[in-house]
Amino acid sequence: MDNTTRPSTISPEFSLYAEKNNLFELFQRCTSSLLIDRPDDPLTYLIDLLNKDFDAPKIIILGPPASGRHTIAKMLQKKLNAVVIEPSEVLQSIPPKFKDRLPPNANSSNICASLWAELYEHRFKDFDCFRQGWILVDFPATREQTLALQSRGIFPKHVVCLEAPDTVLIERAIGKRIDPETQDVYHITWNVPNSQIIQERLVQLEENSEKQMILRLKEYRRNIDGVKDCFKSILRAINADQPLNDIFAQVYSYISRKPRSVVPRTPRVIILGPTGSGRKTVAIKISHKYDIPLISIPTLIKQQIANQTSIGNTMKPYVARQSLVPDSLLMQLIRERLNQNDCTTKGWILIGFPRTREQAESLARTSTTAPNRIFFLDIPLDVALERLSQRSLDPITGRRYHSHDHPVSSNEIKQRLIQHPTDNNEIVRKRYEEYMIYHDELQEFYSQQDAIHIPADQDAYTVFEAIESGILNPLSKDEY
């Protein structure tokens, strides 16, 4: 046989390596930088880029006056060690080459948008911005400024917009006091300084009087929608009318999540749960919608036995005796199935496995069988009992009925309905208890992998949506 005409197989190890090292995003970043800068020598440019490629935060905080932007920005700076940049600071350190392009008496309001963008671009080239990331406050304030920034290739990764009704903001502003010596912000109701000395020297800024606030808010409201429109996909609106710590917690958790990327991905999902939790129902829905092969272990075993394969024949005596098939046989079967082409390219959804900690460990051992999403469908025993005892099947048409959710339409059909022998109360109870025995150790084993718990006693569509968002959204900061 001529070796050169053998069909080529691409090892699944390649795509696993690419996933693990986030290669897609890396190439995406390289390509977008290349397109923005269009260097004449891409090779040197790329080497430079790779050397300096850090995943630094790039955040913009928007919000009406008195919403707490500066406070939040300072808190973020402490947490992330990024550089906070305000327009006044940029104005103070203008490099010489821009000085002659400034209008006389340059201040925040009379510099044109494109000049602003250039000034910011220059500031970003500083090493501290590059390394540690930047947080912008109070800029961009208008749509023009936003577009100017974008045309220079400056894109934030996260944009936070604080929102609160005008009355709340005005009330806050009126009570705001500044310590002229330290520039710290206090409030007469919510944030009183400790010492008497500081209290005495606090002043109220003119801009925080009611009249001024109304003007400033009008100006803000006029412009903010234009700005928000430019950031649609990365914007998150956060209610500013909450305690400061709550606001900060929400902002921080949003910043910590990577944006949902367009990476072609293979979800390897396991759905665990006691009998009656609806695993198969939701797994079938996901499998249809995303074209992911569904592998149900009990079904797989029955198939092997029915087809009388060698594995099937080995398993048959165990199943006949109603005892569990030994792990080694199961793992062999699973490994074979998961290594087939449809699973390695599209991913898989596994239900009915693992049941014990040892099985979970064997699964995790090889990269093609290790899951990257784990779901627990939690349901109390009585709900499971109720669901399963109402379940029945029409043997002639094959349709399933449930006395509450899908009741039978005619008496005739009702006569011939049968119940699955394992849906009987006693057996359900026993199966539930068996599940719970291993549930704790499985939960502990998978807790390091960010397993997601979903309350399963809701309607099927809600559970489906919960699992769908669990699969599509990135798990945590580092992974996808």
Partner 1 sequence: MANKPSAPVMNPIEQSGTDYLQMHRIYDLFHNLSASLVYNKPEDPKAFMINYLEQLKKARLAGLASPSLVDDKDLTSIFRMLDPAGHGHITYSQYASTMEALGVPTYNTSPAGKDNDRITFETFSQEARKRLNELNATYH
Point out which residues bind partner 1 (CB under 8 A). 2-5, 8, 13-15, 17-18, 21, 23, 26-27, 30-31, 34-35, 38, 42-44, 46-47, 50-51, 53
Do residues 108 and 219 touch, judged by C-beta distance below 8 A? Answer: no
Instruction: Tell me how far, at minimum, the Cβ of 262 lies from partner 1, in Å.
Output: 14
User: Which tokens in the block code for residue 400?
Assistant: 């399933």
Instruction: Tell me how far, at minimum, the Cβ of 20 lies from partner 1, in Å.
Output: 9
Q: What is the dihedral of CA 428, 431, 437, 439, to 10 degrees?
A: -90
* Position 451, amino acid: A
Residue closer to partner 1 (CB basis): 151 or 332 = 151
Instruction: Tell me how far, at minimum, the Cβ of 38 lies from partner 1, in Å.
Output: 5
Burial class from Cβ neighbours inside 10 Å (0-12, 13-18, 19+) for residue 184 reads middle
For residue 372, give the nearest of 295, 469, 475 by alpha carbon.
475
DSSP strand pairing (373-378 vs 400-402)? unpaired
| Contacts of 135 by beta carbon, 8 Å cutoff, 6+ apart | 57, 59, 60, 61, 73, 76, 77, 80, 82, 83, 84, 85
Q: What is the dihedral of CA 83, 84, 89, 91, to 10 degrees?
A: 90
DSSP strand pairing (134-137 vs 58-62)? parallel
Q: Cα(36)–Cα(54) distance, rounded to whole angstroms? A: 18
Output the DSSP codes for 313-342. Answer: HHHHHHHHTT-PPPHHHHHHHHHHHHTSHH
Instruction: Tell me how far, at minimum, the Cβ of 18 lies from partner 1, in Å.
Output: 6
Residue closer to partner 1 (CB basis): 26 or 370 = 26
Q: Cα(157)–Cα(56) distance, rounded to whole angstroms? A: 9
Do residues 72 and 162 touch, judged by C-beta distance below 8 A? Answer: yes
Do residues 212 and 206 touch, judged by C-beta distance below 8 A? Answer: yes
Residue closer to partner 1 (CB basis): 2 or 426 = 2
Residue closer to partner 1 (CB basis): 13 or 336 = 13
Residue closer to partner 1 (CB basis): 6 or 404 = 6
Instruction: Tell me how far, at minimum, the Cβ of 7 lies from partner 1, in Å.
Output: 11
Instruction: Tell me how far, at minimum, the Cβ of 5 lies from partner 1, in Å.
Output: 6
Residue closer to partner 1 (CB basis): 50 or 205 = 50
Residue closer to partner 1 (CB basis): 8 or 410 = 8
Residue closer to partner 1 (CB basis): 12 or 193 = 12
Residue closer to partner 1 (CB basis): 368 or 390 = 368
Residue closer to partner 1 (CB basis): 55 or 382 = 55
Instruction: Tell me how far, at minimum, the Cβ of 37 lies from partner 1, in Å.
Output: 10
Residue closer to partner 1 (CB basis): 341 or 415 = 341
Q: Cα(224)–Cα(62) distance, rounded to whole angstroms? A: 8
Instruction: Tell me how far, at minimum, the Cβ of 153 lies from partner 1, in Å.
Output: 12
Instruction: Tell me how far, at minimum, the Cβ of 30 lies from partner 1, in Å.
Output: 8
Instruction: Tell me how far, at minimum, the Cβ of 21 lies from partner 1, in Å.
Output: 5
Do residues 111 and 141 touch, judged by C-beta distance below 8 A? Answer: no
Phi then psi dihedrals of residue 186, to 5 deg = -125, 175
Instruction: Tell me how far, at minimum, the Cβ of 472 lies from partner 1, in Å.
Output: 24
DSSP state of 418: B
**Three state DSSP letters for 201-229:** HCECCHHHCHHHHHHHHHHHHHHHHHHHH
